[in-house]
Structure 1
């Protein structure tokens, strides 16, 4: 019995502090699967419950590298949402050198565009309205961006309403920050309200990316997730309606000159993440299985 307890103590987090995040996402996945059970999305529940049940890692240079597992490919699965964001980040990193080479003097803006909270049942209509507003704004003469990445995020407000908003990374000319080309926050807000055709002044946030900042480190902030895991797990009915409202919508859009550099991001299937494939049973492969009662991945022998 003592030997068995010792073996069971060999948890994934004991081998790799970096990979303990798997356990966080798996625990949240179990909560999401429970929410989906006995609903029109019962198949999602079954798939999420099996997602990442067994992880095969290869030991490479004293670090664990994921070699094989099964992903459920459900859009709101915490594990797959996390893995999807990693894939987008990797693609963005690979695209950056050519972009920086072609536009060495370009400057960048972080822009967050919001609207009033809406009922979760009105989310699809609200997001469509926002996309139409952004399209109109991008055609305004004063709009300074020559290219942009636009990511849609939806969070849950304290009142239970949905809070859809855009996180945008805009590429602008160096001349944007001089003289007549510069747009104040008030001017940005006015343009967004005008383009939305809203009868109120929506809240926005504009921040300049400083010279010398590593753009490859900034893009992942745009591509983190569409909905926080804490919101996915908080309320069953909210999640079910969110799933219905976001079905077949796109989380990421690329515009202007950035299309030529980040086309793969724009065309990425939103409900899929790459499967990790590879032969199993090799001597340097370590397999960790999920033990739901202990909420840990534990090494198999």
Structure 2
């Protein structure tokens, strides 16, 4: 059952209470220097607090729309955060080979370990975490398969649609994508893909612009062989798949970074720009949270049913196989806490627990692991 997602239970502890010291937040500077947590405090102010404040605006919108269950979920999202502090010696964490117990740390890192997330499709906090997660997963996959394929960065668009047309347009796009990848010409070159949906809102025209971003894996010889498909051919195939010849735009290019590829050491660095583009939010909060509450309510009331039960991203072919080999969890509904790996309890020095109160995150507890006697 969804309510049993273990990583988001409130009463979980990283360190065994029998070997920890609970430190009063009022005295935390006596326990650890201010430099140790300055980077964490800066991250909270720069990233976490703005997202939580945006989420609170969404809560008010949900209440105005009588979506009380959704409002209750979002209002309790991110109300507590636990970060583990790890001290490293030249990049070597405690307990690792080459690290002695008496060595003084040269750097301090913080990693999110516990939190309560709502996973609402429009929650700015969860959308932000999900974007990081997708970026990390696609990067891992492309690092694994990057030497075997070349990659295309593909954007498929449709004409803007009205609120009443949005659900029907999204359904048509999903069917058209299946028709496109089954096209004989594309089947001959497509070895795998990652696809993501994005929807933007045009305030002046009061219309919605759904489109797909995708990374396609193609054979290494694709760009210098008869397999190559020109942009105009992609457009015609997408028009046919959508059965809409008013479509005038598709964008297809070889995925590469903005920097000269000679400076890229891995597939991830050379394709980071493309990965970052497709890992964007399905809908940015700036497209549905406005100063005008009536406009906010109107757009949110359109997006909620349009996104309900809909897959926002998908893997196929070699991307899906790599996802399975790497044992990655669901990019949309999976863990939003350990998006870059779990924090090992044996290398955590302290746990910093923050609670949301009066529009900011406040330190409520530090749990400190006892030093080894040897």
User: How much does 1:155 deviate?
Assistant: 1.0
Q: Does structure 1 residue 299 correspond to structure 2 residue 363?
A: yes
1:132 to 175, 187, 199: 175
SS in 2 for 1:233: coil
1:26-62 Cα shifts (integer Å, max 9, x gaps) = 1110111111114342111122112111222222232
Q: Does structure 1 residue 17 correspond to structure 2 residue 42?
A: yes
Q: Which runs of 5+ in 1 are unaligned?
A: none
Q: Which runs of 5+ in 2 are unaligned?
A: 1-25, 88-107, 291-295, 366-374
Per mean C-alpha deviation after superposition, the further-off stretch among 268-277 and 121-130 is 268-277
User: How much does 1:266 deviate?
Assistant: 10
Give me the CA root mean square deviation.
Answer: 3.0
**Aligned partners of 1:50 and 1:72 also within 8 Å:** yes
SS in 2 for 1:174: coil
CA distance in 2, matches of 1:163, 1:272: 27
Match of residue 236 from structure 1: 297
**If the length of structure 1 is used for normalisation, what is the TM-score?**
0.83
User: How much does 1:275 deviate?
Assistant: 5.5
**Aligned partners of 1:118 and 1:163 also within 8 Å:** yes
CA distance in 2, matches of 1:126, 1:109: 25
Match of residue 56 from structure 1: 82
**Aligned partners of 1:74 and 1:272 also within 8 Å:** no
CA distance in 2, matches of 1:258, 1:269: 13
Length, aligned pairs only: 286
**Aligned partners of 1:88 and 1:265 also within 8 Å:** no
Match of residue 353 from structure 2: 287
Q: Does structure 1 residue 261 correspond to structure 2 residue 325?
A: no
CA distance in 2, matches of 1:162, 1:22: 28
Match of residue 225 from structure 1: 281
1:160-189 Cα shifts (integer Å, max 9, x gaps) = 211100001011112221243322222211
Match of residue 146 from structure 1: 191
Match of residue 195 from structure 1: 241
**Aligned partners of 1:75 and 1:272 also within 8 Å:** no
**Aligned partners of 1:136 and 1:195 also within 8 Å:** yes
| Gap change, CA 1:99 and 1:15, over 3 Å in 2 | closer
CA distance in 2, matches of 1:231, 1:58: 34
Quick check: which has more Rg, 1 or 2?
Answer: 2
**Aligned partners of 1:121 and 1:245 also within 8 Å:** no
The structure 1 segments of at least 4 consecutive aligned residues displaced by more than 6 Å after TM superposition are 264-267, 276-279
